[in-house]
Amino acid sequence: MAKKYKKKNKGCFNCNINCSRYYITPEVESEGPEYETLCSFSSRIGNQDLEFALKMNQYLNTMGVDSLSMGETIGWAMECVEKGIFTRDDFDGLDFTWGNLETIQTIVERVVNMEGIGQEFARGTRHLAQTMGKGSEKYALHVKGLDVICGDPRGIKAFGLTYAIASRGGDHLRAEPFFELTNRFEEAEKRFGTRDAANRLSDNGKAKLVEFTERQALLTDCLTMCKNVGLSMDVLDFDLASDLLRAGTGLAFTGDRVDTALKNCITNDRLMNIDFGVTAKDDTLPHRFTHEPLTEGDSKDQVVPVRDMVKDYYKIKGWDEHGVPKKS
């Protein structure tokens, strides 16, 4: 696809990584696609026509629609039809067979124009599954109403914990614990007390890793820094950030002060979510990731023991067993 359509790399101002791309097809030209869009409009919905995925990328970006959630709602509908839970009569006559490009294009346009069943799809997978029922909730891949990315957490356990505890739902950027994919075993032992923290298939040490990278992620956001660099490349630490803040503001920042501020911020975020009605029951993963082991590949037989991982995470945060921060 890159050989055929990519014209150049693109990047943010002054960045020499240039992690984005620009492409031209016979029908459209646009920036991207991001990995999640490409996956959401190809393998996630049974589509092998990558030119079509590029067309959807351009259209969704122009219309301001989240391609990841759009792809998941379509994938959910297709799986429900495959399993015989729903038929085309349940979807305004649209045939949600895997990879049906006509249906995909039509439902996307109906969402954009808020027409017919498009009004329901626009509200996401959780809404669709809750209102249409018949056991379809089991196939809705969301956390707290936000659809999860295409990275299957059964093979990346710290990411699984991240989706589960993220305050706005299945959000990998909450902590993006890329470290678990690095095989930096000695570094893992030094920083997180176990070599397993650098083993993507292990759940051991992952609560400690996620609790750390959650703060590191927040720090990159606060410094308006790119997460690819500050977090995924593990460049940013609290002392370095305090040096930058001291230089920029003249105020007496230290690594410890920065870290305390980050911890307080995460606690306040949690307290707000509790006010909005979020409980420990919401800190979980879709049924598939906790009960259906993968059947092949390098992550064969894996599921995510999310309950125990979340408990470990609460303990490290100093929260009670219901995920409620203790009064200090």
Residues that bind ligand SF4 (CB under 6 A): 11-12, 15, 17-20, 226, 228-229
Give the shortest CB-196-to-ligand SF4 separation in angstroms.
Answer: 29
Give the shortest CB-30-to-ligand SF4 separation in angstroms.
Answer: 16
Give the shortest CB-154-to-ligand SF4 separation in angstroms.
Answer: 27
What is the Cα–Cα distance from 119 to 70, expressed in whole angstroms?
Answer: 12
Give the shortest CB-39-to-ligand SF4 separation in angstroms.
Answer: 18
Q: What are phi and psi of 30, to 5 degrees?
A: -170, 170
DSSP secondary-structure letter at 6?
Answer: E
Q: Which is nearer to ligand SF4, 19 or 114 (CB)?
A: 19
Q: Which is nearer to ligand SF4, 1 or 229 (CB)?
A: 229
Give the shortest CB-224-to-ligand SF4 separation in angstroms.
Answer: 10
∠ CA 256-260-264, nearest 5°, is: 175
Give the shortest CB-12-to-ligand SF4 separation in angstroms.
Answer: 3
Which residue, among 268, 313, 310, has the nearest Cα to 289 in the 3D structure?
A: 310
Cβ-based neighbours of 245, under 8 Å, separated by 6 or more? 251, 253, 258
Give the shortest CB-243-to-ligand SF4 separation in angstroms.
Answer: 21
Give me the sign of the Cα torsion angle 12, 14, 15, 18.
positive
What is the Cα–Cα distance from 192 to 145, expressed in whole angstroms?
Answer: 31
Cβ-based neighbours of 167, under 8 Å, separated by 6 or more? 174, 269, 270, 272, 273, 278
Q: Which is nearer to ligand SF4, 34 or 237 (CB)?
A: 34
Q: Which is nearer to ligand SF4, 240 or 294 (CB)?
A: 240
Q: Which is nearer to ligand SF4, 226 or 280 (CB)?
A: 226
State both tokens at 214. Answer: 């959650």
Which residue, among 78, 16, 86, has the nearest Cα to 46 in the 3D structure?
A: 78
Q: Which is nearer to ligand SF4, 78 or 231 (CB)?
A: 231
What is the Cα–Cα distance from 58 to 1, expressed in whole angstroms?
Answer: 15
Q: Which is nearer to ligand SF4, 128 or 217 (CB)?
A: 217
Q: Which is nearer to ligand SF4, 224 or 295 (CB)?
A: 224
CB 288 within 8 A of CB 137: no
Give the shortest CB-141-to-ligand SF4 separation in angstroms.
Answer: 25
What is the Cα–Cα distance from 314 to 143, expressed in whole angstroms?
Answer: 18
